[in-house]
Structure 1
C-alpha cells in the first residue's frame, strides 16, 4: 500500500515528488573536417606570407631574413611556406612576379601611352625600388637569383612594351588590330627583321622610361612619383621616340573640328 508523502518541516504541507529526470537526446559529435584549404583561402594565405616576406626583406635585407622570421611574421609554419613557395629565393622571385602580374593586369587593353605610364608608376614605387636594391646587393653572392630577377622583372616588362608597339616597333596600340594581316603579307625574313626592330625599340623605350628618375630613386634622392607625374614622364619619352599616338588623336580632333 502506497504511503502518503511526508509533510515538509517548514510548512507542514505534504511534499510533492519531483518528476523523474529524462535523458537528454543523443546528438552526434561535430566532425571537424581537415585537409587542404580551399583555393581562395590558400591564395589569401599565400599573399599574407608574400607580404610579410617583402616587408622583412625591405626592413632587414635578404640575407638577414630567415624563413623562421617570415613564418613568425605571417603566423604560419615553415612547412606552409615550403608548400607555397619553396625556399627563400623562390619567395623573392614570387615578389618580382607579383609586381609584373599587377603591371600586366593594370595595362591590359590600354594604349601604349597608358602602358608606359603604368610601367613608370609601378617600377618607381617603393616596393619595386626596394627589391631592386636588394638584388643589386645579392647579385655577387647569388648570380642565379639575379638571373631570376631579370627574367621575371625587366624581361617581362620589355615583352609587355613589345606587345603594345605593333609589328614594326614604330606604332602604338591602334595598329595592333592589323598586326596579323601585316605578318601574313610579309616574308619570313621581313617578319624576323621587324620583330628584331620592335624588340630593340621596346628595350630603348624601357630604358628611357626609367632612366635618370630610376637612378635617383635607387639613391633615395626622390620620392615615388604619383600617377600624373608618371603619365607626364611616359608622354615625354614617347614623343622623344616618335611613338606618341596621342598626337594623332589631337590631329584627328583638329580635322574633325
Structure 2
C-alpha cells in the first residue's frame, strides 16, 4: 500500500501500472491480483487508507483551558491534518482523479470533512458544557470554524497555486473573528481568561 500510494501520488492513476506497484513492493504481479483484484481496487484502498498511518489525536478540552486556548488547539489540529505532506499529496491525487471516479471521490471527500468537523463539534460541545460558550448548533459552528480558520489556503495548496502557509498572526486573527462573530462580544471578552474547571 505504501508503494502504491507513492506511485499514485507521484504519477497519477493512469501512469501507474500493477507491474510498477509489484516491482516497487518486491512481489509478483500475480500476488497483487490475488490480494486486490485490479489497479482500481488498489487505488480505492489507497484513498480510503489516506490517514490511517499518521492519524492525529483529535483535539480535546482539558481543565484549565480557556475558550481561546481550546480553539487554538483545534486550529492547530486543523492545520496539521490539512498540511501534512501525505494529506497534500493524496488530496492532489483525489482532485486529479475526480473526473475518473466522481462518485467515489465525492463520497470520500464528504467522509473526510464530516469526520474532521465532528471532531471540532465535540470540542465546541465540551466548551458549551463547561459554560464557556452558549449552547447552540455546534455542528454549524464547527462548519463555520473550519471555513473561517482554514479559508481558501487548502485549495490553493492542493492545486499548487500557492504554497505559502498561513502564519501564526493570521491564524490568531481568524480565531478571534470566529469567537467574536459566532458568540458575541461578552464571550469574546472572556475568551482568554475564563477557564474550564
TM more than 0.5: yes
Aligned residue in 1 for 2:65:
none
Correspondence 1:206 to 2:126: no
Q: Which runs of 5+ in 1 are unaligned?
A: 1-48, 167-172, 183-190
Query: Of 51, 55, 73, which residue of structure 2 is paired with 1:102?
Result: 55
RCO greater where, 1 or 2, for CA within 8 Å and sep 6 or more? 2
Higher-Rg member (1/2): 1
* Residues 88-110 of structure 1: CA deviation (Å, up to 9, x unaligned): 233232333427x613x253567
C-alpha distance in 2, partners of 1:161/1:81? 40
Name the SS for the 1:139 alignment partner.
Answer: coil
C-alpha distance in 1, partners of 2:169/2:35? 43
Query: Of 36, 40, 52, which residue of structure 1 is paired with 2:3?
Result: 52
8 Å CA contact 1:164–1:176 kept in 2: the answer is no
8 Å CA contact 1:165–1:198 kept in 2: the answer is yes
Aligned residue in 1 for 2:156:
216
Mapping for residues 137-216 of structure 1, pairs under 5 Å: 137-166=96-125, 173-176=126-129, 194=136, 197-216=137-156
8 Å CA contact 1:162–1:199 kept in 2: the answer is yes
Q: Which runs of 5+ in 2 are unaligned?
A: 63-69
Give me the TM-score of the superposition, normalised by structure 1.
Answer: 0.55
Aligned-pair CA distance for 1:59: 1.0
C-alpha distance in 1, partners of 2:87/2:169? 20
Count of residues in correspondence between the two structures: 178
C-alpha distance in 2, partners of 1:95/1:217? 21
Aligned-pair CA distance for 1:82: 5.9
